[in-house]
Structure 1
């Protein structure tokens, strides 16, 4: 892989499905996320051996607390499913200790060091990409098993021998967009903000879809822009076959309105990432004109694992959403590591996960042995209005093979 391509793939870590959506009204907790919680999961009952202690560091508070809640609910559902309701693996209880990262890498690392000092050999969690990278560094330094959660940064894949992921990565989001392209590749225009996020998305589309033969151009918008008519016209005038939108922040609503007013949706399919259900209504009248890339929504699949996910979360009073699945898969991975490895021997647990093929809520999944990428199906979706609500509808399931990221070479 050339240094230019490697840089592009690194920049691609800026893309997340959540960030492509209109901004949410998440408010950081008043305590600034400095407090942590220590909680034992339901699996803490005494079994035939010492409990297997697992440290879970996630956003209980902070800007992404809503995503942290989804992840935690999914994790507990996944552990329940993978242990057939016992919370134990061969008589050993899986004991979860939760710590709040509050969206802050320093807070997360401090919590990780504390738990590692207490001889925790398995760590998991976080919805924040910067925290996932910091946690991966701790895993390598201390030789413990770390499973990243919903954090989409590509940097986690292949970072070291001790790090895995239970969610998708940004390059899989971009690869899913190929489902909307003509067979000959065609021309893609990336509409994005002129900042690291937008430039990273442009680089990712160039690396992934440009690498498959598509012609890729960009329309980059100043981050402080409030009027988008001229940029919308630039997109139309470029005569694209596909329009890839990467946008984050409070200006998203006005941006989508301008695209609609300038008939951008008549020029070519417009693709962006579908975030969690709280954002569905924020696209406004343009919602049913957008083609969405999607990591997960509860109605996308009809697998045994997904039925168990939905049932467990709803019975507990929650609602399955975008990142619930990443927690569920982490539960499956923890049980696999303990069942097929030795919870006192980290290398044996690493070996138990590398190359593992299994059925997750989304369907067939596998952990690529060479770099620990999680190969998984992805989805294309549209939103339909049902009264005052917007409901996702599956267009196509894109196989894990077709969305597999390029092999990372960092390890």
Structure 2
């Protein structure tokens, strides 16, 4: 371990001691104490999936957030003399629980909320931000609906449209595209994005909406095979992914069509099964995709030193929130103004908050997998610049 890594570990340790982190169950968040004193804590509420099917994503986001908070505050955990006090609340990926927790935090005086592992959660929490004039920085939720949702809503991760722009290069001369996705907010967002991007480029796009609760994917795989598309865009996440990929491979879809999908968290890679090497992968992020100061700080803070898919989303969220709070710890409109147009260096590289609709402009990656089982590794085969991966501007809704 070199000296710079050791110092970064020391900085992370220092901030964890300096920052008040309160772990709570949904419905019992820490009482607010923003106050007006120069040393009064600044309360930040993080409502995310500690449990449920997206808990793995939530854990990465939380680890990234803590590391990003340390990095952005220079190891102090403070904005000026005021410590940042973070309340962690579990929504289990349930929009009803998330809304209840967000309302509880807002009612206790919180002016800053973050989190939203799930797209279904994000689209329900975003209106609360506008209604109550609180800053909301959504996390891994990929639905395009978060962008332009309202003046007070931002995002720290990518959106479905950026995934599709990364996939566009894989189409080649093909013209027949099928989108295989769950019948959910996440799935519908991907379908809409593929129709806009690839359909707009002259492809004929159809979709197969699979129940999000499905466990037997053979009938759906057979439908894909029968359709004989040139390209299959698969948008799937969660614990049933392994069964889905096994069905697509066993029914010959991976051999008969070019299949493009997003690279999920590392633990899911063995779930691609024998067909993993046949896939064309678009990547929001994977360990080793970048190497910069933010990445090194994150790597030093993450258990085992291996970063993963949604660590950068948490890291960037903390950077954005610190920047907003530095502009004014108590005036939400000033926080919003500070974030609009904000460019900063983060784990994925240079990120920019587009002022017009709060899209987060960022590079995207293309990759292939090699190896088998737990020895699988991802290798970058291309980078799509933030400009080339920029979604169209959305009219701000409020």
On whether the aligned pair clears a TM of 0.5, the verdict is yes
Contact preservation (8 Å) 1:39, 1:97? no
For residue 252 of structure 1, report the CA deviation from its aligned partner. Answer: 5.2
Alpha carbons of structure 1 residues 309 and 408: separation in structure 2 relative to 1, 3 Å: same
| Pair 1:226-2:218 in alignment | yes
CA contact (8 A) 2:144 2:189 kept: no
Q: Retained in 1: the 8 A contact 2:181–2:234?
A: no
- The alignment partner of 2:376 has SS state of strand
Taking structure 1 as the reference length, what is the TM-score of the superposition?
A: 0.80
Q: Residue 344 of structure 2 corresponds to which residue in structure 1?
A: 358
Tell which deviates more after alignment, 146-155 or 107-116: 107-116
Answer whether contact 2:181 2:190 (CA < 8 A) is retained.
no
Residue equivalent to 2:59: 69
Aligned to 1:376: 362
- Residue correspondence of structure 1 range 102-117 to structure 2 within 5 A: 102-117=92-107
- Distance, in Å, in 2 between the alignment partners of 1:162 and 1:109 is 16
| Cα distance in 2 between the residues matched to 1:106 and 1:251 | 23
Unmatched 5+ residue regions in structure 1? 1-32
TM-score scaled by length of structure 2: 0.83
| Residues 200, 82 of structure 1: alpha-carbon distance in 2 compared, 3 angstrom cutoff | closer
Distance 1:249 1:118 in 2: 33
Distance 1:271 1:225, change over 3 A: closer
Residues of 1 paired with 2:248 and 2:217: CA distance? 14
User: Which residue does 1:83 correspond to in 2?
Assistant: 73
Secondary structure at the residue paired with 2:371? strand
Give the drift of 1:226: 2.7
Name which structure has the greater RCO, CA cutoff 8 Å, separation 6+. Answer: 1
Corresponding residue for 1:324? 311
Q: How much does 1:304 deviate? A: 1.2
What is the total number of aligned residue pairs between the two structures?
A: 366
User: RMSD across aligned C-alpha pairs, in angstroms?
Assistant: 2.9
Measured at CA, do residues 250 and 49 of structure 1 come closer, stay the same or move farther in structure 2, by a change above 3 Å? closer
Range with bigger deviation, 253-262 or 127-136: 253-262
Answering whether residue 292 of structure 2 is matched by residue 306 of structure 1, we say: no
Deviation string 1:65-101 (CA, Å, 9 cap, x unpaired) is 2211111110000010111111122222211112222
- Spell out, residue by residue over 1:371-405, the C-alpha distance to the aligned partner (whole angstroms, 9 max, x if none): 00001111111111156421111111111111111
Q: Does 1:335 align with 2:322?
A: yes
Tell me, which stretches of 5 or more residues in structure 2 are unaligned? 1-24
Paired residue for 2:153? 163
Pick one of 260, 263, 284 that aligns with 1:271: 260
